Amino acid sequence: MREKRVVIIGNGMVGHRFCEKISNKKGDFKLIVFGEEPIRAYDRVHLTDYLGKKTLDDLFMSENRWYKENNIDLHLGDPIKKIDTTKKRVFSIKGLSIDYDYLVFATGSSAFVPPIPGVEKEGVFLYRNINDLDLIREYTSKATKGAVIGGGLLGLEAAKALVDLGINDTAVVEFAPRLMPRQIDELASNTLQTKLKSLGLTCLLQKSTDHIVGDRKIEGLSFADETQLEADILIISAGIKPRDELAKAAGLTIGSRGGIVVDEHMRTSDPAIFAVGECALYEEMIYGLVAPGYEMAETAAATIAGEQKVFSGFDMSTKLKLMGVDVASFGDPFISEPYAYTILLEDKNKGIYKRLNISTDGKRLLGGILVGEASSYNMLLQTVNNNMPLPEHPETLLLGETSSGKSSSSGLEALPDNALICSCEGVTKATICDAVTQQNCEDVDSVRKCTKAGSGCGGCVPMIKDLVTYTMKQQGKYIRNSICEHFNFSRQELFDLIKIHELKSYDEVLDNFGTGHGCESCKPVVSSLLASLWNEMILGKGNDVAQDSNDRFLANIQRGGTYSVVPRIPGGEITPEKLITIGEVAKKYNLYTKITGGQRIDLFGAHLNDLPFIWEELITAGFESGHAYGKALRTVKSCVGSTWCRYGLHDSVSFAIQIEERYRGIRSPHKLKSGVSGCIRECAEAQAKDFGIIATEKGWNLYVCGNGGSKPQHAQLLASDIDSETCIKYLDRFLMFYIRTADPLMRTATWLNKMEGGIDYLRNVVVNDSLEMSETWENEMQALVNAYQCEWKTAVNDPNIRKRFVHFVNAPDEKDDTVRFEEMRGQKKATGWNNSMIY
């Protein structure tokens, strides 16, 4: 039987997927692939990562040998120029003439370039392929102000790329009145815009570019409203258009607005020719995501192999992270009254917007939008796609809870076996659960290798992880609490490994014990572990970019693009001279001042450029960093104790200062707060703290694992009537035990609640030394205490660190002129500081 020759025009992700699928079909097929680019198929979804840590080798979809192993002839840098549909023959640019039995168009799309005068100028780029990114990276070395035309998905990705390349002064120009107009509504766009602005990205909406300013190279943009924007590099990302010119020349039917018309089997008007991906037009729709392209490729491969499979459209739900901001839409994000009713949650303080569209009978979820926090995306998407019933109070879905109070596993149990978990690869719940039960896959990486689930856009990875955990629990297996897919270790295991191997940077940890390039989950965890172990400067080379956002600036990022400064005031005790210094600094830099609940003074409204100068003045007066930005000890609150109070039993102020100065700057899984009260009247509220100390007639009572915040919990008594020295020993042991064993971002109260044996077990470990670790923990704590340094002082004295604290790299003395303030009770506040939460 003669082998059937299948010619594929295009070697992108969808073309590669077609080759994968048909290679696994029954039949004798000879595949011939013609690619326009000089390199083999690569992952375009993660194209922006190429400007970070990923190399081209990391992005390749397969090895070179894969093509030979699957009987595929690959012709790179040799696009097809002509098709003879009568003779079933294609002709390439390099002169090849190949006959085919079946022809598959996988030509994708090209960037739509608006007819703007000046687009040919030097410094104007597209954002579609590796070559584009190489050119952009090279040009940014001589650019300082960037602009992107297009506020859609790819436009915001391009803006992120410019920021990653050091062009911090970057603006996004969008013709529509909101960002991502096809995915999110106006309120969601406002929230996203505010978040992006706080990260240094300017968004200009409802702007029509009239022409590009400059002679030979770009100098800026001129808009139809007669305003201008300075820019010396521009990326155009204003949409896509299907690559259908070759098909049109061959006489195939083309849509009125472009695209090769296909039926449900991906056949074109010529039954021997198929089209898949962004060049294909199915029922007047061009699908611009990789998942529907993959489904098209599988449908075409099945049809050519004689199997029955149809393409019936595709859900365009999507979740992504733009410059660290979660953005997701699912189902029908825009449906509204009278066809549905809408539940909204908007928290302007935290930059969170959530919308659920509910059927008029209140029984079904129709769609929604999530900005700023999207952890519930996968479950909400499954609820829509599988027509699952809603809880009695659907608004609880916005808070990540169920009306019954059950864990997320109850939602996974309700999912049908045919629920599509990974849309990119077409992997169902049943397939993933089978990989766990039958193939012994016990982590996300194993499931990915076995089923390919999660190897596309990656949006389904959190749900895959939940399914793996859920299935293993059903089998009664031990659950390995890995911190993320890049580290197959729990926090405690990784702590021990870092310590044993004396690793000092995130990159060293990743190289030795991780895979891939890390993520926003594991980077802060590893950074916290390194700080907890060695107490070195957190902004040291190799660790700076892995920190939480506040840690990167040694200050809290506040509303309106401003920063707050909180100097340490141990025990709340402060001299008049230091009070005067704080007042003078606040007056000089026009800062809003407030006494905190922890007996310190917050200075709000600082510009990024001013931070080192403010720190210098405070350091000169004897202040140091209060670590208000870190997962570390914040304050040790105290009453005046026996020094002044007639009820005081002991000197609570001196002991609070001693405690605070001992444990300052020590990083832990979560922030820590403490208090010391001079008698049982408890004016320092010690029992609401992570550790609290209350004076007794015989000494001190030590309480641990209390918590204020969203779920208040009283601390529990660990030891009674102990002297000061013993109290500190117990605290050393308690804190090191917590630092070693708690999960990331776990408060001490939650840690104790999850501890088998509770306070009795903890007391046995800390007081009775049941684990025989007391001496080790005391020595480790003393080493951290000895290694302490004021991070503000180090930052202002180290030129390499200090230069981070500028808003404009090319103009370090200029401040962000978009920061706005208004008067409030004789002080200033950032504009738009109001919070709102709407249901």
Closest CA to 150 of 159, 160, 142: 159
Partner residues linked to 99 by β-bridges: 89
**Strand-pair category, 233-236 with 102-105:** unpaired
Closest CA to 666 of 706, 702, 622, 630: 630
**Strand-pair category, 563-565 with 556-557:** antiparallel
Provide CB contacts within 8 A for 183, sequence distance 6+. 153, 318, 327, 329, 333, 369
Burial (CB count within 10 angstroms: exposed 0-12, middle 13-18, buried 19+), residue 215? exposed
Provide CB contacts within 8 A for 312, sequence distance 6+. 264
H-helix segments, 701-773: 724-741, 748-754, 758-766
Distance separating alpha carbons of residues 599 and 570, to the nearest angstrom: 9
Distance separating alpha carbons of residues 810 and 337, to the nearest angstrom: 50
> Is the CB of residue 451 less than 8 Å from the CB of residue 411?
no
> Is the CB of residue 567 less than 8 Å from the CB of residue 618?
yes
Closest CA to 443 of 474, 471, 414: 471
Closest CA to 530 of 516, 547, 514: 547
Closest CA to 521 of 561, 558, 481: 481
Burial code (b: 16+ CB inside 10 Å, e: under 16) for 714-740 equals: ebbebbeebebeebbbbbbbbbbbbbb
> Is the CB of residue 391 less than 8 Å from the CB of residue 362?
no
424 is in an annotated binding site: no
Distance separating alpha carbons of residues 545 and 557, to the nearest angstrom: 16
Partner residues linked to 230 by β-bridges: 220
790 is in an annotated binding site: no
Closest CA to 334 of 563, 471, 181: 181
Query: Three-class SS of residue 167?
Result: coil
Query: Three-class SS of residue 788?
Result: coil
> Is the CB of residue 724 less than 8 Å from the CB of residue 641?
no
Distance separating alpha carbons of residues 136 and 134, to the nearest angstrom: 6
DSSP structure class, residue 392: S
> Is the CB of residue 207 less than 8 Å from the CB of residue 223?
yes
Q: Which residue has the tokens 């020094």?
A: 643
450 is in an annotated binding site: no
Distance separating alpha carbons of residues 641 and 571, to the nearest angstrom: 11
Q: Which residue has the tokens 């039926």?
A: 263
| Exposure on the CB side of residue 577, measured as CA atoms within 13 A | 6
H-helix segments, 554-701: 576-588, 611-620, 641-644, 652-663
> Is the CB of residue 455 less than 8 Å from the CB of residue 448?
yes
679 is in an annotated binding site: yes
Long-range contacts of 248-251, Cβ-Cβ distance < 8 Å, separation of 24 or more: 249/82, 249/83, 250/82, 250/83, 250/85, 251/85
Binding site: which residues? Answer: 639, 645, 679, 683
Binding site for [4Fe-4S] cluster: which residues? Answer: 639, 645, 679, 683
Binding site for siroheme: which residues? Answer: 683
